[in-house]
Amino acid sequence: MTETSLTTVAESIRAPFRKFTEEFEPLRPELYRYCRYLTRTPWDAEDLVQETLIRAFVVLGTRHDAPEHPKAWLFKVASNRWLNICEKRREVPTAELLGATSMPVDPKATREAAATLVGGLAPQERAALVLKEVFEFSLDEIAALLSTSLGAVKSALHRARGKLTEQDRSHLAAAPPTTLSEFCSAFNARDLDKVMSLLLETVDIELSGTFTDSGAAVAKRSFGGLMFATKMAMEAGIPSDYRTGLQSVPPRFEVRMHRGVPVVLTFWTHDDGEHVRGVSLFTEVENRIAGIKTYMHSPELIAEVCRELSVSFRSNGYRNWEAGEYWSRLRLSEVSPKPT
């Protein structure tokens, strides 16, 4: 298999996958909410959403007919994927689900409150309880979603209801890592050389659901584009329907601690002040940044994190196909500081 043949395959897949994600976009809020109840963190939830959509796209291509109930089918794909992950890890998750209840939900307060107390449940118990108490699926539907028997579902619900305990609402307080603080300060000062000195040559760069690549050249294009080609970067990263009041000035990075985990918030300037439009997770190796994963087209995740941190935010929607193409085409000369 050659690079040319792989490129041809990639191009042929791109259009159908975009069509698929557009069709399933109305189900994204509910899918995230379900995944959030199952997983430890908003990051795990969003990753499970992305994996579910990719898996669903593949499975849909092998079916002889379309699923009769798209939402239930998507939940089934998510459930299977999550249960498989738990089985491979050989562990029982202990998720903090407080963030899930901070999101706007329907008025079923009692049922929502009951569903937040599932942190100590086994995977199948948790899935069964959430599907029944939060999303109101019938017992038969839950059995089909979890690929199990009606008796197994009843047993799982019985065990789950007997284990419910209040979650520990205390969060670990910690200071942000020095490397991330230096990175944010360097970016805000438009010191591209300093930013690059903090990155590994093999740094991985990912815009969740949109773009992924690695290497110093990719990082330089990405961060240089935000610093010195701001209007182009804005138009590539934020769809036109979501730019109301947005000013063409470089964004600002700020490191915060979210539930004991350092995150970098991207503040964009608007006519009415600054608002977060992106949240990033960083990985470090020996005081150098080895990976950066940015969530810009994950509205539920951004909303959850920003509400918990009490910062203002704006949505960029779920997709912006031009972003990945823009960052791939951008030349280094376009993102270099202009001579003074």
Chunked in runs of 10, what are the mean pLDDT values of the chain (340 residues)? 70 82 91 91 93 91 85 93 82 42 37 44 83 86 87 85 52 66 96 96 89 89 86 78 91 92 95 96 91 94 95 90 56 56
Pick the CATH number of 178-335 from 3.20.20.105, 3.90.1150.10, 3.30.465.10, 3.10.450.50: 3.10.450.50
pLDDT at residue 324 in the model: 53
For residue 4, count CB atoms less than 10 angstroms from its CB and return exposed for 0-12, middle for 13-18, buried for 19 or more: exposed
Domain spans, the chain: 14-163, 178-335
CATH number of 14-163: 1.20.140.160
Domains 14-163 and 178-335 fall in the same CATH topology: no
pLDDT at residue 171 in the model: 41
Would the pTM count as exceeding 0.85? no
Is residue 214 within 8 Å of residue 204, measured between CB atoms? yes
pLDDT at residue 120 in the model: 62
Q: Which amino acid is at 161?
A: R
